[in-house]
Amino acid sequence: MDPTNKPKGPSPHYSLYQREVFQNGGSKGELPSFSVHAEELAESTKKKLNDRSYFYANSNAGLGWTDRANREAFYRWRIIPRMLVDTNTRDLTTELFGHRIPAPILFAPIGINKLYSPTGELIPAKIAGELGLPYCLSTAASQPIEAVAQANDLGASVKNESNSVHEYSGPNGGNAQGPRFFQLYMGHDDEITISLLERAWKSGFDVCMLTVDTWQLGWRPTDINIANYVFYYPGAVGNEIGASDPVFMRKHGDELKKDSGKWIDSSVWHGKAHTWEKIPWLIKEWKRISGGRPFVIKGIQSVEDALKAHQIGCEGIVVTNHAGRQVDGAVGSLEVLPDIVDAVGDKMKIIFDSGIRTGSDVFKAIALGAHAVQVGRLYVWGMSHEGEAGCRHVMKSLLADLDITMTVAGYRSITKDVNRRALKYNASGNPPHGADHAKL
């Protein structure tokens, strides 16, 4: 890994992070304090968190079959390496909703990050800013919208090879220094919904991403076993966006003092489903507030719903089953991606979510037609170990893994060269058991 005289390409040489880790070990005796092997990383998180925090991050619906289906779907698709290709520079850059970003990877919206580190969402927001990757903020966050925006700008303020790739010339309500999107859980009080969207826009979140698969939390036995719903416990976290919202507090502030579950029960996971008929109103309001910026639906798993999302005016969808946390025994998210891409991939942006663990996973999802992917549990596991440093290490490792995969597999451009011809489907065989790898 000769770092000298490397030609400059569209993307940073993320692969050099591998050399940095090796050099720190060899010359300084500094080894990573935790494994970035995804299965070992998930396992070691148990030692870093209490039961409530660990199981909130790792619980799945029912017997966990959908979570398993997500991973098995990746195993079925195999990369076809190409040889003697000039991959001395790679192009991982892509365009997403007017943003030029250095790699097709987003920080997925995950709620209640204070369960994993004391400053919660401020950590991944800052790291996303450092890397120039889009950060998606959850309505169930444990920091106010405005504080997360500041953390994201702080990370973006120190320019480097990665975040300097980011370009955007469209409207933004908060002069954001990096790309950031707002994930909305929509309650049934329109005044509160509009207040949330206005705050998000003024704080520089310029894409609205509505989650439609989680009006109510799925049945997750490992959470049931320990009555794992943090909002009902003393000193509850996860109310910060509601508690900082002027409309919610005007209407329900007194109730929140008496019932720490008021915000989450009425405005987030309220158990009262919306229907397609409500979505045009929401799109219209977001367009009014944002000056026409994109609206995305998160939770699509069927061609029919993808077509419906396009018909009603969405600019994008997130193909996700909520990481297997909502419906047990459902299809793996990657299983349905090709058909959805064939139906709407040339009409709207498709973001893939659910089961991404490695650079090759990112490669496969892009090859099957996604424009970008979201990662969630990976960065949560990282910040659970070492806060900001752990989150940074995991995400830089993922970028290095993707960059090296492109290099050694013989694919230069993630948008031009990585397509279905880069993969072969294998319907047989079972993924290796989690213990079937070399480890310390």
Catalytic residues: 322
Contact call for residues 72 and 332 (beta carbons, < 8 A): yes
| Ligand-binding site membership of 357 (annotated) | yes
| Ligand-binding site membership of 322 (annotated) | yes
CB atoms within 10 A of CB 246: 11
| Ligand-binding site membership of 138 (annotated) | yes
Distances in whole angstroms, Cα of residue 376 to Cα of each of 107, 138, 215, 274, 383: 6, 11, 19, 25, 11
| Ligand-binding site membership of 376 (annotated) | yes
| Ligand-binding site membership of 68 (annotated) | no
| Ligand-binding site membership of 293 (annotated) | no
| Ligand-binding site membership of 326 (annotated) | no
- Phi/psi of residue 348, each to 5°? -155, 165
**Strand pairing category for 135-137 and 180-184:** parallel
Contact call for residues 409 and 78 (beta carbons, < 8 A): no
| Ligand-binding site membership of 298 (annotated) | yes
| Ligand-binding site membership of 171 (annotated) | no
Q: 29-49 as b/e, with b when 16 or more CB fall inside 10 Å?
A: eeeeebebbbbbbbebbeebb
> Residue 343: helix, strand or coil by DSSP?
helix
| Ligand-binding site membership of 425 (annotated) | no
Give every CB contact of residue 343 below 8 A, 6+ residues apart in sequence: 303, 306, 307
| Ligand-binding site membership of 226 (annotated) | no
| Ligand-binding site membership of 211 (annotated) | yes
| Ligand-binding site membership of 53 (annotated) | no
> Residue 281: helix, strand or coil by DSSP?
helix
Residues within the annotated binding site for FMN?
109-111, 138, 183, 211, 298, 353-357, 376-377
Residues within the annotated binding site for glyoxylate?
56, 185, 220, 322, 325
Residues within the annotated binding site?
56, 109-111, 138, 183, 185, 211, 220, 298, 322, 325, 353-357, 376-377
